[in-house]
């Protein structure tokens, strides 16, 4: 996860972190903050990267990533990533990188005289390093992210073809992630400014739900409603699961009003988030706990990464 300025929202939590928390009981997980990757978009504001990185790491821990079970670290603390990046850069054909759709999109987004950097072009190579250096079984991804892993597989295959089998064929560890609707009825995204943030205050969450988009045709309590397009119902479906069928039935039948429906939704959501928000406050009052987890995580990550580098140098006859 990149240490951008924006805070984690419920969409990020449901789409990624919640699954990581579950998966750490089944796999050895490596969860890192991609602070070098952030340089591709934050080169003019580098002074914020460290603070943002620590915040993201604190978010990991508050969300339930347990540093006793999972390896949590900053990408820049494991210099082996840089060495493998150089070596992978030599085996990756330029054409592969120029064809990556996100490179084209990001280049078009650059304003004025700004030119795309070598780092922006090489982003997928560094991403392949971040994954393959731990020789993992797989990567937890949502269905829409599956194509992003393909270039990692291609780089691994090309390396293995040139130097012998070092890297595994990584698997997609797919998870069912609900697509969360934002408070304006569109997909929850920081771009639309319609997010409910994981670690905002309960008051902020309450206020957002109070003004959230509902069925515009349902004006009075006894008007029949259409929950399918309602952002509040979308939250009921995830955070008030046991009652979601009743909410839907009563809404359609004109037996519930939007005001009380929003109150019920807020209570269910706040109850779910309470332990996470409490843990976040505890972590904030003890910042050393994050630094200690990152230090321990970097040591474990380096142990694995340096062993992979030994194998890589040997395969390339560089040792």
Instruction: Please give the residues from 200 up to 219 whose contact with ligand SF4 meets the rule CB under 6 A.
Output: 214-215, 218
For the beta carbon of residue 88, count every other beta carbon within 10 angstroms. 23
Among 244, 251, 276, 293, binds ligand SF4 (CB under 6 A): 251
Kindly state whether residue 234 participates in binding ligand SF4, applying the rule CB under 6 A. no
Kindly tell me which of 53 and 183 has the beta carbon lying closer to ligand SF4.
Answer: 183
Q: How far apart are CA 277 and CA 99, in angstroms?
A: 42
Given the rule CB under 6 A, which of 131-139, 162-170, 228-236, 285-293 is the region that contacts ligand SF4?
228-236
Kindly list the catalytic residues.
109, 187, 190
Taking the alpha carbons of 60, 191, 208, 272 in that order, is the dihedral positive or negative? negative
Kindly tell me which of 51 and 228 has the beta carbon lying closer to ligand SF4.
Answer: 228
Q: How far apart are CA 131 and CA 170, in angstroms?
A: 9
Kindly state whether residue 230 participates in binding ligand SF4, applying the rule CB under 6 A. yes
For the bound state, the minimum distance from the C-beta of residue 3 to ligand SF4, rounded and expressed in Å, comes to: 35
Residue 74 sits at φ, ψ, to 5 deg, of: -95, 135
Question: For residue 12, what are the CA distances in angstroms to 19, 206, 227?
Answer: 11, 19, 23
Radius of gyration (C-alpha) of the chain in whole angstroms: 22
Kindly tell me which of 9 and 262 has the beta carbon lying closer to ligand SF4.
Answer: 262
For the bound state, the minimum distance from the C-beta of residue 86 to ligand SF4, rounded and expressed in Å, comes to: 54
Kindly state whether residue 256 participates in binding ligand SF4, applying the rule CB under 6 A. yes
Closest CA to 265 of 294, 284, 239: 239
How many residues bind ligand SF4 (CB under 6 A)? The answer is: 14
Is residue 293 a contact partner of residue 72, using CB atoms and an 8 Å limit?
A: yes
Q: Token match 């951008």: residue? A: 4
Given the rule CB under 6 A, which of 30-38, 113-121, 135-143, 253-261 is the region that contacts ligand SF4?
253-261
Give the end-to-end CA distance of the chain in Å, rounded to a whole number: 33
For the bound state, the minimum distance from the C-beta of residue 255 to ligand SF4, rounded and expressed in Å, comes to: 9
- Which residues lie near ligand SF4 (CB under 6 A)? 214-215, 218, 225, 227, 230, 232-233, 247, 251, 256, 258, 261-262
């Amino acid at each position: 996860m990149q240490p951008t300025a924006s805070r984690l929202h419920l969409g990020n939590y449901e789409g990624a972190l919640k699954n990581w928390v579950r998966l750490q009981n089944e796999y050895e997980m490596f969860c890192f903050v991609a602070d070098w990757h952030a340089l591709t978009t934050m080169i003019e504001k580098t002074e914020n990267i460290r603070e943002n990185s620590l915040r993201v790491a604190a978010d990991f821990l508050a969300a339930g990533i347990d540093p006793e079970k999972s390896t949590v670290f900053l990408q820049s603390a494991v210099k082996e990533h840089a060495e493998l990046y150089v070596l992978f850069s030599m085996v990756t054909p330029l054409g592969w990188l120029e064809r990556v759709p996100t490179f084209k999109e990001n280049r078009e987004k650059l304003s004025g005289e700004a030119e795309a950097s070598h780092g922006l072009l090489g982003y997928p190579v560094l991403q392949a390093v971040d994954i393959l250096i731990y020789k993992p079984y797989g990567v937890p991804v949502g269905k829409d992210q599956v194509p992003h892993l393909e270039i990692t597989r291609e780089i691994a295959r090309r390396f293995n073809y040139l130097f012998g089998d070092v890297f595994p064929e990584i698997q997609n560890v797919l998870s069912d992630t609900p697509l969360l609707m934002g408070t304006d009825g569109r997909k929850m995204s920081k771009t639309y400014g319609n997010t409910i943030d994981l670690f905002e205050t309960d008051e902020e969450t309450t206020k957002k739900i109070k003004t959230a988009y509902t069925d515009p045709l349902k004006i009075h309590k006894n008007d029949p409603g259409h929950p399918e397009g309602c952002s509040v119902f979308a939250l009921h479906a995830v955070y008030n699961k046991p009652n979601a069928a009743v909410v839907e039935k009563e809404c359609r039948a004109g037996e519930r009003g939007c005001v009380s429906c929003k109150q019920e939704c807020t209570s269910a959501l706040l109850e779910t988030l309470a332990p996470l928000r409490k843990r976040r406050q505890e972590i904030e009052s003890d910042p050393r706990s994050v630094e200690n987890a990152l230090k321990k995580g970097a040591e474990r990550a380096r142990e694995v990464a340096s062993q992979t580098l030994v194998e890589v140098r040997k395969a390339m006859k560089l040792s």
